[in-house]
Amino acid sequence: MAQSISALFVTAAALPDESEKDSLDRELDLIRARREGDKRFFRGAFEDYTLVAGLIIGTIFFGGVFVMSSGWIAADSIVVDKTLSSTPLDPGEECVDREGQVWFNIFFSADDHLLKAESYNVDPDAQTVIGIVFEMSNLSEQVHLKGGLGDQQLAFDPSELEDGHYNTTVLIWKVITDDEIESLDQSELAALIGLDDDPIGYKEVEIEISSHSSGPFSSDIKQRVEVYDVDPRSCWSIEGLGEWGWIMMGAEWVGGREAAMLTGGNAGIPAWWMAMVSLGMSLFFLCVQYPLMHKMYHRDSDDLLTKDQLRRLIHRTLGKSRKQLRIDIDFEQMKMQQRPISIDILLPYTTGSTTIDQPADIRAQLNRSLLEEFAIFGEMRPLQMKIICVDDGIHEAHEGAPLSFNPVNSPINPMEDYSAFFAEMSAYGWLEAAAQTSLNRWFKKHDLVDYGTAVLADEDAVFVRVIYRPVMRFSYFLFKQSYHDMQDDLYSHLSRDLTEHLGGRTLVVSARNEKATLSDRTIAGRIEQSGPELEGEALVAKQGGITGALLQNPFMGDILSSVEYVAHKNQTRIEKYGFWFLIIFVWIPFMASGVLVGAMLGLVARIPFQRVLVACLFGGTAASLTWAYTARGIIEFMERYHAEAFIPFVILLAVAFTIMHVRKNKRKRREELFRSSMAFFAGAAD
């Protein structure tokens, strides 16, 4: 869908009056109480049981494929394929059980342009001679032989034959000789066996050889070799099916269902197994990830925030934060833009005499406060906030500005009594010494290195700024306290130690980690960075517990953002056509239109959980069955028209288109997310 942008600019005229504020606050408090009332992960709802079912399905499916591929149980058994090949699940001819029998595989290798014949199930200790016999049109025969131990492979260059149709027989004989059979020539091998001796195995096929131009503008002549084998396929063993299960899962993960089915169909994998592998993946991801996405994104109708409620939530959250940061926010000049894919805020502020934090720290704290509230209220749209310091040169407005203090001490008159001045200096000296002693204990308590401290005071406040760094190894992962936690702890620590030295002044504390740890960086559940041509950083509220761990890591975050984008683009269609469009959307092989995208589409359109689940199950099942039972037909069609060389190309093309489509969606989302925000911030700041 062409995404509509609803821009809401908060100005002085738009600010609510006091009675409206009270009403909005009561509504927000009720929503908060409902959402915080039951924080259990498993609440016995339908989606919870769906998640449990998905975990059971995944355990059985992936565990079963692992056991099959490992060969631990009945590795060589073909009973499963043999049984199902005689049912409607396998529409082709019944597979043949060749276990313990000598059999052959005859094929033309386009890579090295050789006709090859391979034998199987021959005694590995027996001396054998394999031969390929071509019946010529003049009733003569052309024979090629090769000797060795056990199974043999004979390669023949078909350019030695003229164009035409040949009845061809491949045979293998067991011989007894003391000679090194591998070194014998054609006449010596023929003398050993005699063409009238009974072979231990043979196979008859038809081979057609033809020459054609290599291209419309080329004079080169190429030879085409077709092998017509009417024998039914050999049954697959349990271990072979398991190994191909992993291969098809990898192909589907990289290139989608289409690539997986063409890969399996080209290898002769039974259609029922291809369908089962695809269905197993679809069921697992749908029944596990959809309930998790539902827990993260879904909100009851009564909990959806209106524009006025969201504006009030932002207003009162920032109002609380400004007191902690000791800044003054100009709410009359604050501007906000709401879109389906983001919330953009332009925030002007001024500093005061007790402001100690730098703009980067102020922005981080304001973001943290809003994201914490968004997480409680279930607001999962990305947040982009630009703050502007509008001081008259007192504090620089750019990030990384040097810390500056401006005590408001009165100038000293030389004619006045100096005793008060020296008393104040003495008191400050005792304060600085006590603060330094207290800080040393604090650094030692937390095993930190002091990377710079500053203690300054005026008649109104005492300023303490600390830059620290953890001593422990791998602190990025192991140091659990964020800079915000450390700052609160430092404030409590200094408040106890400096009570007698403060003299009624306000204690202002700022603590910053010299090397940000994982805890410092996880104020957001997901962070989206702009590209080289765009500017911005979008933050998504952090979800805790299992849901956040599984869905808000960098890998799944990228997938979710793309899924959200596709869902929003198709929102108008699902709202218009509903349940049946969702089935068709998942069924028809559009790029990136699988069960997860369908589930997100249902979430965006606020379709009930059960209806979305049923629609995605129907669509995903139909897609798996359709591709599984048509893949072999597509390949046979290409072989019929001598286009089998393009099969690997078609598979690679499906993979390439899927990757390109995902990257295209990611790029378009980034542009739509940040370009409009850049325009909004530029226009709002003018």
- Residue range 433-451, pLDDT digits in tens: 888 888 888 988 888 888 8
The mean pLDDT of 254-263, rounded to a whole number, is 77
Long-range contacts of 190-196 (CB under 8 A, 24+ apart): 190/143, 190/145, 192/129, 192/147, 193/129, 193/131, 193/145, 195/133, 195/143
Q: Is the pLDDT of residue 677 over 80?
A: yes
Please name which of 193, 140, 187 lies closest in space to residue 171, comparing C-alpha atoms. Answer: 193
Could you tell me which residue, 218 or 226, shows the higher pLDDT? 226
Reported residue count of the chain is 686
Could you tell me which residue, 587 or 566, shows the higher pLDDT? 587
637: Cβ contacts below 8 Å, ≥ 6 apart: none
Lowest-pLDDT range, 451-460, 513-522, 545-554? 513-522
pLDDT at 635: 64
Strand pairing partners for 132? 144, 170
d(CA 600, CA 285): 12
686: its two tokens:
């003018």
Could you tell me which residue, 644 or 83, shows the higher pLDDT? 83
SS (H, E, C) 454-520: EEEECCCEEEEEEEEEECCCCHHHHCCCCHHHHHHHHHHHHHHHCHHHHCCCEEEEEEEECCCCHHH
Q: What tens digit of pLDDT does each residue of 377-388 get?
A: 888 888 888 888
Please name which of 330, 378, 387 lies closest in space to residue 10, comparing C-alpha atoms. Answer: 330
Could you tell me which residue, 29 or 462, shows the higher pLDDT? 29
Please name which of 558, 602, 596 lies closest in space to residue 582, comparing C-alpha atoms. Answer: 602
pLDDT at 273: 92
Highest mean pLDDT: which of 49-58, 162-171, 202-211, 258-267?
A: 49-58
430: Cβ contacts below 8 Å, ≥ 6 apart: 501
d(CA 181, CA 150): 12
pLDDT at 394: 41
pLDDT at 141: 84
242: Cβ contacts below 8 Å, ≥ 6 apart: 65, 66, 67, 68, 69, 70, 71
Could you tell me which residue, 148 or 568, shows the higher pLDDT? 148
Distances (CA, A) of 88 to 83, 272, 623: 11, 10, 18
> Buried (b) or exposed (e) across 537-551, using 16+ Cβ within 10 A?
bbbbbbbeeebbeeb
Q: What tens digit of pLDDT does each residue of 50-97 get?
A: 999 999 999 999 999 999 999 888 887 888 888 888 788 887 778 888
Tally Cβ neighbours within 10 Å of residue 451. Answer: 13
Percentages helix, strand, coil for the chain (3-state, rounded to 5) are: 50, 20, 30
Q: Is the pLDDT of residue 643 over 70?
A: no
pLDDT at 614: 92
- Per-residue confidence band for 477, with pLDDT thresholds at 50, 70 and 90: low
Q: Is the pLDDT of residue 277 over 90?
A: yes
Task: Give the three-class secondary structure for 409.
Answer: coil
Domains of the chain, first to last: 12-42+302-389 (3.30.300), 103-228 (2.60.40), 419-521 (3.30.70), 547-685 (no CATH)
Please tell me the pTM assigned to this model: 0.61
- Per-residue confidence band for 232, with pLDDT thresholds at 50, 70 and 90: confident
Could you tell me which residue, 467 or 643, shows the higher pLDDT? 467
d(CA 209, CA 159): 9
d(CA 114, CA 107): 9
Task: Give the three-class secondary structure for 126.
Answer: coil
- Per-residue confidence band for 429, with pLDDT thresholds at 50, 70 and 90: low
The backbone torsions φ and ψ at residue 680, rounded to the nearest 5 degrees and listed phi first, read -65, -50
HSE-CB at 372 with a 13 A cutoff on CA atoms is: 11
The bridge status of strand 383-389 relative to strand 342-351 is parallel
Task: Give the three-class secondary structure for 343.
Answer: strand
Q: What tens digit of pLDDT does each residue of 12-56 get?
A: 334 456 666 788 888 898 988 888 876 777 777 888 899 999 999
Lowest-pLDDT range, 520-534, 536-550, 565-579, 621-635? 520-534
- Per-residue confidence band for 671, with pLDDT thresholds at 50, 70 and 90: confident
Tally Cβ neighbours within 10 Å of residue 657. Answer: 16
Percent of the chain with pLDDT over 90: 8
The mean pLDDT of 184-198, rounded to a whole number, is 79
- Per-residue confidence band for 196, with pLDDT thresholds at 50, 70 and 90: low
477: its two tokens:
């992962």
Strand pairing partners for 227? 207
pLDDT at 216: 53
Please, what sign has the CA dihedral across residues 32, 291, 526, 475?
positive
Which residue shows structure tokens 């899924």?
Answer: 563
The mean pLDDT of 286-297, rounded to a whole number, is 86
- Per-residue confidence band for 245, with pLDDT thresholds at 50, 70 and 90: very high
d(CA 414, CA 421): 11
Strand locations in 40-149 (E): 103-109, 114-120, 127-135, 141-149
477: Cβ contacts below 8 Å, ≥ 6 apart: 517, 518
The mean pLDDT of 583-611, rounded to a whole number, is 79
433: its two tokens:
């010494």
Task: Give the three-class secondary structure for 590.
Answer: coil
- Per-residue confidence band for 7, with pLDDT thresholds at 50, 70 and 90: very low
The mean pLDDT of 439-465, rounded to a whole number, is 83
Beta carbons of 612 and 290 less than 8 angstroms apart: yes
d(CA 173, CA 356): 93
The mean pLDDT of 569-587, rounded to a whole number, is 80
Tally Cβ neighbours within 10 Å of residue 159. Answer: 12
d(CA 56, CA 413): 83
Could you tell me which residue, 313 or 475, shows the higher pLDDT? 313
Mean pLDDT over the full length of the chain? 78
Distances (CA, A) of 261 to 88, 247, 271, 549, 616: 19, 11, 9, 32, 19
Task: Give the three-class secondary structure for 200.
Answer: coil
Task: Give the three-class secondary structure for 230.
Answer: coil
Lowest-pLDDT range, 165-169, 520-524, 579-583, 625-629? 520-524
d(CA 437, CA 486): 18
- Per-residue confidence band for 421, with pLDDT thresholds at 50, 70 and 90: very low
d(CA 210, CA 163): 5
